[in-house]
Amino acid sequence: MTGDASSVRTALTRGGRMIRPAQSSPPIRQVLADRRELVATARERAQSPFQTLRHYSVTTPGKLIIICVILFLGCVTTGLYASTVLEDRTQTLQRLIDRTEPLAEAAQVLYSSLSIADASANAAFISGGLETPELRQRYSDALATAASSLILATGTSSEPGPGMTEDATERALSSDLDTLSTSIPVYSGLIETARTNNRLGNPVGSAYLGQASSLMQDKILPAAQRLYERRSMAIADPQHSLTRPPWTVYIPLLLLLTAMVLTSRYLARRTRRRFNIGLVAAIGALFLGTVWLLASGLMSVAATSNARTDGADPLRELTAARILTQQARSAETLSLIRRGDQGGLERTFAATTAKIGGIVDDVRTSKETGSVSAEQLDTVSSALAEWRRTDAGVRRYIQTGNFDRARQLTVGDGLNSSARAYTAVDSALVDAITTARTSFRDDINTAQRVLGFTGTGILLLAVLAAVAIVGGLVPRIREYR
């Protein structure tokens, strides 16, 4: 029996077959599922990272991460931008009070001092013989003030630095300053020559005085007036931008607040939690910064507007009136030297004083609660009327040929003298100019102090809001792991 089984097994083996116990194979569905899984895995590995990110971004944790990054970057960027804009405003206000306004004041004093020196030199000459110590001292003081003001006026209104370039305005200023620095010594030398000849009784002294006066009227004073006008424009230009609120800072702050509120509502729907502590803290910090900016920005704008309406505008107009006063005085004193040009000088005096009266009236009607009081303007008007009256008396004496009496009224110190009336007009204008300048500086200082640390404060609050956003959203993102 054993031998038969062995022979049968041998025969089957030789035939290439081997009968084994039957084995169980996996179901066909499992095989297909495994194959699909392998294909999906291979396909997923073959995808680009951008496609993976795109797939992840439509999920809830992906959306939260994107919102967190956008809000974080928005807070930091807005804080930096607000700090830069507000710091630039603060520096502009500081530069106005430290550099630009003093330069304009120096230019105004320069012009007035040169005019006073010219009028004093003419008055000293027509007084005859040796001039009085008062006139001599007035001329010397005016020339010394002009020299010191010229030194101050040579500064620049921009901050010095390696990147500073000279534009057309600076080149024009440099040209006028060169004219003044080279012509004033020449004028002084001509006046000394005229004074020396006048003391010696030489008629040529009047020729030197006429040459000096022509140099002053035709070259020096026009350059000084252009210098003052350009310095005044350097004050007016920044004020146009500083009197507007910083809207470019308000807009991104409001947009960020809106985005945070919408994010808070989205989280409330997704997480079933009413509030997120981090987002609430971020909204509070940003809201505080917005309110701070709103208060300080509007107060700074109001102070700057007051500086322009109550300070800069009347200051510019009153300074123009004082410049016209010096021109009228020069025309008045020259009328006793250039006796052949009485009609032209009289028309110049009349037109100039009419402009002064018009400027005073404009300041009176344009101001509502300005710094220059009505009493100060009334003082200028009454002194101007007195000056016109005394000048009319001088003209009558000149027309009748009584030059000694005309000279006495022009350079004397009597009650009815033209010199006293001119001094009263100039003093009243100086008083009004000082008041307007003080008001301007006080308002600019107020605007600068109010704005103060607003930029730094908003930057710190924005960074705090960014940190609070991360602290509020990261725990919610981790819940989806």
pLDDT in tens, 211-265: 888 898 889 988 988 888 888 888 877 777 788 888 889 999 999 999 999 988 8
Confidence of residue 333 (pLDDT cuts 50, 70, 90): confident
> Residue 331: its pLDDT value, please?
80
Q: Render the burial of 362-382: b for 16+ CB within 10 Å, e for the rest.
A: ebbeebeebbbeeebbebbbe
Residue range 289-322, pLDDT digits in tens: 999 999 998 899 888 888 888 888 888 889 889 8
Q: Residue 404 CB: number of other CB atoms within 10 A?
A: 10
> Residue 8: its pLDDT value, please?
47
> Would you say residue 132 has pLDDT above 80?
no
Nearest Cα neighbor of 417 from 401, 404, 406 is 406
Nearest Cα neighbor of 114 from 171, 178, 181 is 181
Residue range 169-218, pLDDT digits in tens: 778 888 888 889 899 999 989 888 888 887 777 777 778 887 888 898 88
> Residue 255: its pLDDT value, please?
92
> Residue 66: its pLDDT value, please?
85
Q: What is the pTM of this model?
A: 0.75
Q: What is the arithmetic mean of pLDDT over 410-423?
A: 80
